[in-house]
Chains A and B, each alone.
Chain A
Amino acid sequence: MTQTALITGGSRGLGRAIATFLAGQGYDLIVTARDPQNLAEARNGLRGFSGRVVALAGDVAHGPHRDSLALAAEELGGLDLLVNNASDMGTTPLPPLAEYSLPRLRQVFESNIVAPLALIQKTLPSLARRNGLVVNISSDAALSGYPGWGAYGASKASLDLISTTLARELGEVGVAVVSVDPGDMRTNMHQAAFPNEDISDRPLPEATLPFWGWLLGQSHNAINGKRYQARAETWEMAT
Chain B
Amino acid sequence: MTAAVTATILKDAQEANSPAEARGLARDEVRLLVTTPSGHEDSRFFELPKILQPGDLLVVNSSKTIAASLPGDGKHGQFILNLSTNFGNGLWLAEPRRDSATPGPLPLRAGDSVRVAGIAVDLVAVHAEIPRLWFVKFNGDALAAADFIGTPIRYGHVAEQFPLDAYQTIFAREPGSAEMPSAARPFFMEVVSALQNAGVELADVVLHTGVSSLEIDDGTDGQPPMYPEPFRVSDHTAWKVNEARRLGRRVSAVGTTVVRALESAWSNGRVTPAHGFTRLFVSPARGVRAVDGLLTGFHERRSTHLAMLNAIGGGTMIRDGYDHAVDGGYLWHEFGDSHLILPPRPN
Given contacts A206-B125, A210-B228, A235-B276, contact A25 B137 (CB under 8 A): yes
The reply to whether A210 and B137 form a contact with Cβ atoms under 8 Å apart is: no
Per-residue interface assignment for chain B, residues 100 to 125, with 1 indicating a CB less than 8 Å from any chain A CB and 0 otherwise:
00000000001100000000001111
The reply to whether B135 and A21 form a contact with Cβ atoms under 8 Å apart is: yes
The reply to whether A209 and B274 form a contact with Cβ atoms under 8 Å apart is: no
CB of B129 closer than 8 Å to a CB of A: yes
Most buried by A among B125, B227, B274, B278: B125
CB of B273 closer than 8 Å to a CB of A: yes
Query: What is the total number of residues of chain A having a CB less than 8 Å from a CB of chain B?
Result: 26
Q: Which of B87, B264, B281 contacts A217 (CB 8 A)?
A: B87
Q: Which of B127, B128, B273, B279 contacts A233 (CB 8 A)?
A: B279
CB of B70 closer than 8 Å to a CB of A: no
The docked-state distance in angstroms from the alpha carbon of A213 to that of B136 is 11
The reply to whether A25 and B91 form a contact with Cβ atoms under 8 Å apart is: yes
Query: What is the total number of residues of chain B having a CB less than 8 Å from a CB of chain A?
Result: 28
Q: Which of B89, B93, B123 contacts A216 (CB 8 A)?
A: B89
Contacts of A207 in B (CB 8 A): 128-129
The docked-state distance in angstroms from the alpha carbon of A233 to that of B124 is 24
CB of B275 closer than 8 Å to a CB of A: yes
Within 8 A of B (CB), among A3-46: 20-21, 24-26
Within 8 A of A (CB), among B241-279: 264, 273-279
The docked-state distance in angstroms from the alpha carbon of A206 to that of B274 is 26
CB of B280 closer than 8 Å to a CB of A: yes
CB of A93 closer than 8 Å to a CB of B: no
The reply to whether B123 and A24 form a contact with Cβ atoms under 8 Å apart is: yes
Within 8 A of B (CB), among A225-239: 233-237, 239
Q: Which of B91, B110, B280 contacts A20 (CB 8 A)?
A: B110
Contacts of B124 in A (CB 8 A): 21, 24-25
Given contacts A24-B110, A213-B135, contact A204 B128 (CB under 8 A): yes
How far is the CB of B172 from the nearest CB of chain A, in Å? 23
The reply to whether B127 and A234 form a contact with Cβ atoms under 8 Å apart is: no
The docked-state distance in angstroms from the alpha carbon of A218 to that of B277 is 11
Contacts of B274 in A (CB 8 A): 234, 236, 239
Per-residue interface assignment for chain B, residues 50 to 74, with 1 indicating a CB less than 8 Å from any chain A CB and 0 otherwise:
0000000000000000000000000
The reply to whether A239 and B91 form a contact with Cβ atoms under 8 Å apart is: no
The reply to whether B264 and A233 form a contact with Cβ atoms under 8 Å apart is: yes
The reply to whether B93 and A210 form a contact with Cβ atoms under 8 Å apart is: yes
Known: A21-B125, A216-B87, A239-B273. 5 other contacts (CB 8 A): A25-B122, A206-B128, A211-B228, A213-B135, A237-B275
Can you list 15 A-B pairs with a CB-CB distance of less than 8 A?
A20-B110, A21-B125, A24-B123, A25-B122, A25-B137, A26-B122, A49-B111, A204-B128, A209-B127, A213-B91, A214-B277, A216-B87, A235-B278, A236-B276, A239-B274
